[in-house]
Amino acid sequence: MIGGVKYRMFLVLAVAIFVACSHEKTPQVTIEQQIRQYTQPWIGVPYKLGGKTKEGIDCSALTQNIYTNVFHVELPRRVVEQRVEGLPVARDSLIAGDLIVFRASLFGRPHIGVYLAHDEFIHASSSKGVMISSLTQGYWRRKYKTARRLLDPQGHLITNGVAVD
């Protein structure tokens, strides 16, 4: 009788361990997916210098909005302030969430966007509004200036070169 109870307890425990080990983990949502999911409703919103809403938004307000709502990180409002945040990163080392800075336009204003993946970035274009563009496209390839990294690959804020939870 005692042997039977031990055997049954062993079976119950073995089944419980098997079930616990075989349970599929919920897949992690990548930084790229988080940005795309958050910004999808913003695609097509018109550009408006100084704008911050879906009625109209400029490039630095869009990057500020993404960082605030996706990563809970406060960015300064203006491109000239955002472009010095974080750490410099080489063009061939970009990861999702990096800020992409472009040379000044004809109007003398620099431009900024957020890198997604595979040379794509999201930004508020002065001519087409919020959109996804490619860094390999001639205009953006020529205008690319630098990139800044504020987050590590897991989405943690980097401070003084070290990720902070």
* Domains defined for the chain, CATH in brackets: 28-164 (3.90.1720.10)
In this structure, the number of other CB atoms found within 10 A of the CB of residue 70 comes to: 18
Joined together, the tokens standing for residue 161 give: 């070169």
User: Residue 48 has what pLDDT?
Assistant: 98
User: Residue 28 has what pLDDT?
Assistant: 80
Give the mean model confidence (pLDDT) for residues 43-70: 98
- The residue ranking higher by pLDDT, 57 or 14, is 57
User: Residue 150 has what pLDDT?
Assistant: 96
User: Residue 67 has what pLDDT?
Assistant: 98
Annotated active-site positions, please? Answer: 59, 111, 123
User: Residue 143 has what pLDDT?
Assistant: 95
- The residue ranking higher by pLDDT, 7 or 144, is 144
What percent helix, strand, coil does the chain show, rounded to 5? Answer: 35, 25, 40
Q: Where are the beta strands (DSSP E) in 56-161?
A: 56-57, 87-88, 99-102, 111-117, 120-125, 129-134, 144-149, 157-159
User: Residue 53 has what pLDDT?
Assistant: 98
User: Residue 8 has what pLDDT?
Assistant: 63
Range of weakest confidence among 70-79, 80-89, 105-114: 105-114
- The residue ranking higher by pLDDT, 4 or 73, is 73
24-54: pLDDT as tens digits: 555 688 999 999 999 999 999 999 999 999 9
Q: Cα(141)–Cα(18) distance, rounded to whole angstroms?
A: 53
User: Residue 7 has what pLDDT?
Assistant: 58
User: Residue 10 has what pLDDT?
Assistant: 55
Instruction: State the chain's mean pLDDT as an integer.
Output: 87
Residue 106 pLDDT > 80, yes or no? no
Using a pLDDT cut of 90, give the percent of the chain over it. 71
